Amino acid sequence: MYARFLLVAILAIAIRPAFADCPEPCQPAWMSHTFCPRTSNGPATAMLQWDDGSGEAVYVAWAFTSFGCGETNIAHIARWNGSAWYFLTQGGSPMRNNLGAATIRSLVVHDDGTGPALYAGGDFTHIGELEVNGIARWDGVQWSAVGGAPSLGGDSVYAIASYDDGSGPALYIAGDFTHIGEIEVNGVARWDGAQWSALAGPGGIGVDGRALALAVYDEGDGPALFVGGSFPTAGGVAVGHIARWDGNQWSALEGSGGTGLSGVVAPVVNALIVFNDGSGPSLFIGGNFIFAGDLRVNRVAKWNGQNWLAMSNSLATGVGNIVLTFAVFNDASGPALAVGGWFTTAGGVTVNRVAKWNGTFWSALTGTGGTGTTTTVRALASFNSPQGSQLIVGGDLTATQNNYVITQIRMWSGTAWTTLPDPTGTGMNNTVFAFAYFDDGTGPALYAGGGFTIIGGTTVNRIAKWNGSQWLPLVGPGGTGTNGSVRAMTVFDDGNGPALYVAGDFSTAGGITVNRVARWNGSQWSSLTGPAAVGLAGSGSQAIALAVFDDGTGPALYAGGVFTTAGGETANNIARWDGKQWSTLTGTGGIGVNSAVNTLLAFDDGSGPILYAGGAFTTAAGVTVNRIAGWDGKRWYALTDGGGTGVSSTVTALAAFDDGLGIALYVGGSFASAGGITANRIAKWDEAGWSPLYGPGANGVTSSSVLALSTFDDGTGTALYAAGNFVAAGGITSNYIARWNRNAWSPLQGLTTVGTSAAVHALITIPDPNTGLSNLYLGGEFLSVGGYISERVAQWNACPPDPSCGPADLNCDTLLDFFDVQAFLNAYASGSLAADFNDDGILNFFDVQAFLSAFAAGCP
């Protein structure tokens, strides 16, 4: 055989004809955009009402690094139509800045001759792969670049306006940039639909600082563009941070009291708006300044085309801190100016960061829900909703709900405050500890349990059912879920039909007293009572593990944890439920075990079924076992070989797995040795005794502990998956989860990283009805997996079976022939791991041997 192979090898290398390449193989991958947080992690920065043809809506932009699942194609902006959110999508990718997170700072509607469209300005450089450089156009369907997307010689676009200087409508942008492409513009630029140009007067180009606000206002001699910001001059003219552009030249706002704004170390204009407060249209200016001309105005002022005017109550003038935004709205008492920012008082009245000016006096927005807001207001918009005129308020508004920090958009009706509903999320607000797969009569589904109480905006109280698109609470006659953490779940038929059994720290489920263990039949909760009491009890009691085991008298449910009694009888941390009452596991030397039981597994290695228990205990019914023991229905026994008994520290996970050498028990935990040999946090127990899991560069896992084990076939063959609180497996960085295939550990590769962002506590493999394959689900503390946001639950997808004729069919033509030999030799000669047939990371004779064995085996 080997002589023939060598002859073929020589001929193959000499001839080296071309052969058909295999198609790119499927790779197991994380499911993205599924288990998402419910909202943004950044403030609202810009708002605008606009009807794009589908009805009035308010557009809201956020500065955030994630919204929902983060990688979703929402482009940092969404549309609220009065009842639901719609994201402005672009080819599956969000807005981004090559230097980091992106922010939209301004929105405006402008018609460039092809119809009205929404324009957004900010510090973003791309939308997906589309280069836009700070300014982009949304036509209702897709985003496009403006003016060829020239590079900005600066940081950001802060304001946008549509203005006709007499030569036709044009789009104006303002910011802290110096150039548009090669054109010097200095903070302000004009796009006429064909070319960019500067605003240059006789004395200079643009402004000598940052331009932050734009508005079009007619003082009586025709509309002009007004520019505010932080700049002493515009076009070489001294203006004091606000200036007028009439299409040809720059000029200052000079009233009888003087020019421009002053009174603080660094005066700045943040907002401009035109409003008729009853005395005719005027330009209103907000920011950080004390004087307009020589008139004290305190951060907000009115310009009527000739003079500066203060906005005063009988108590005081202006507002108590910086103004950031304006909007005009009508709350049924007549048009008014809404002002938002950092301030807590306006005209001496407590207003809390948002106030109303009606032309005569200041007032607070006070009603149901309180007065104003608790944090900075950065954006305002009027919205004519189906319920009437509303003021939409956004900024740094957040609320904490059961560990969720929610960015809020609030709405003022004129009499009451309400909060716009957040986009519904599917991620949990706290840790997932357990999974189960159960059919409640409506079809099999995934159930999750843990410490969470909220999923998206729905209260579930520590247990929920996944229907494929959303999580549903388990509601009983007296309430929802449980009143303490869920630690374990399993399905058991006690004679009345299959039911979901749930264990944990709780004392009630659905409002019913259950004491650490409960039964859910698909419609209601019930307790496990008998012979003398309900459930499990004892100081600090909790149920941590569940398993179904037949000791020869019929299947029963076993519960492990930290408790002294079960059904009122002494049990010591482990007990049996037969569907009618609790009983104990009593050996010749006593009852139960002497410390916590963390995990249970019923397993038959060929010598008969055994219930294995792992935990912190060192004795079971008086027998020294050292944290793991077997129960055969009559007695406890230790897992002992010539090197020692049990493991050196706590056991937290058990699984049965056949690595090709026969089915065996795998044990995970925080131990460093098993049976006296080094086995870092995971070990194998079979008829030969204890053995570690080596490869490729180290023994076991590095760091704290293995918390969960499961078998799963990702399309390349069934493997053992270990998860927990560790950073490396076999010396390879894996981040909390890794795959063991008998020869070596490997990580679960993602978009940008491997593994998860934090500890994994639960694993389960369940079938996918849509693909016919199975998927691996993870639960834990993590907020992302492989670079995708996935909040405390994640899904690892399998690939379909390889259509080729076995592993030796290297050219995937469904035949085993000379060309497969040639493909192997070429891969081997080039050092490609495609020739690593024994998966040990090294190319050597053993790979040749493994290939020959696969070739000789023929097609399946």
pLDDT at 848 (0 to 100): 93
More confident residue, 40 or 76: 76
Question: What is the SS3 assignment for 834?
Answer: helix
Task: Tell me if 834 is assigned to some domain.
Answer: yes
More confident residue, 84 or 817: 817
- Helix then strand then coil, % of the chain, to nearest 5: 5, 50, 45
Give the range of the structural domain holding residue 815, as residue numbers without chain letter: 2-23+806-857
Task: Tell me if 300 is assigned to some domain.
Answer: no
Does 57 have pLDDT greater than 80? yes
- In this predicted model, what pLDDT tens digit does every residue of 445-461 receive, in sequence order? 999 999 999 887 688 99
Q: Output the CA–CA distances (angstroms, integers) from residue 49 to 46, 157, 326, in the order listed.
A: 11, 20, 13
Does 495 have pLDDT greater than 80? yes
Q: Mean of the per-residue pLDDT values for the chain? A: 89
- In this predicted model, what pLDDT tens digit does every residue of 619-673 receive, in sequence order? 999 999 999 999 999 999 999 998 899 999 999 999 999 999 999 999 999 999 9
| pLDDT band for position 202 (cuts 50, 70, 90) | confident
- In this predicted model, what pLDDT tens digit does every residue of 62-89 receive, in sequence order? 775 555 554 433 457 888 888 777 777 6
pTM: 0.70
Strand 689-692 to strand 85-87: parallel, antiparallel, or no bridges (unpaired)?
A: unpaired
pLDDT at 463 (0 to 100): 98
Neighbours of 801 (CB within 10 A): 12
Share of the chain above pLDDT 90, in %: 68
- In this predicted model, what pLDDT tens digit does every residue of 435-448 receive, in sequence order? 999 999 999 999 99
Task: Tell me if 830 is assigned to some domain.
Answer: yes
More confident residue, 779 or 256: 779
- In this predicted model, what pLDDT tens digit does every residue of 550-587 receive, in sequence order? 999 999 999 999 999 999 999 999 999 999 999 999 98
Task: Tell me if 842 is assigned to some domain.
Answer: yes
- In whole angstroms, give the CA distance from residue 194 to residue 170: 10
469 CB burial (10 A radius; 0-12, 13-18, 19+): exposed
Task: Tell me if 563 is assigned to some domain.
Answer: no
Q: Taking residues 144-164, what's their average pLDDT? A: 90
Task: Tell me if 837 is assigned to some domain.
Answer: yes
- In this predicted model, what pLDDT tens digit does every residue of 697-729 receive, in sequence order? 889 999 899 999 999 999 888 999 999 999 999
Phi-psi region of 717 (alpha: psi -120 to 50; beta: other; left: phi over 0): left
Question: In total, how many domains does the chain have?
Answer: 1
Q: What are phi and psi of 658, to 5 degrees?
A: -105, 110
Task: Tell me if 843 is assigned to some domain.
Answer: yes
Q: Report the DSSP beta bridge partners of residue 404.
A: 401
| pLDDT band for position 802 (cuts 50, 70, 90) | low
Q: Do 193 and 251 touch, CB atoms closer than 8 A? A: no
CA atoms within 13 A on the CB side of 641: 15
Task: Tell me if 519 is assigned to some domain.
Answer: no
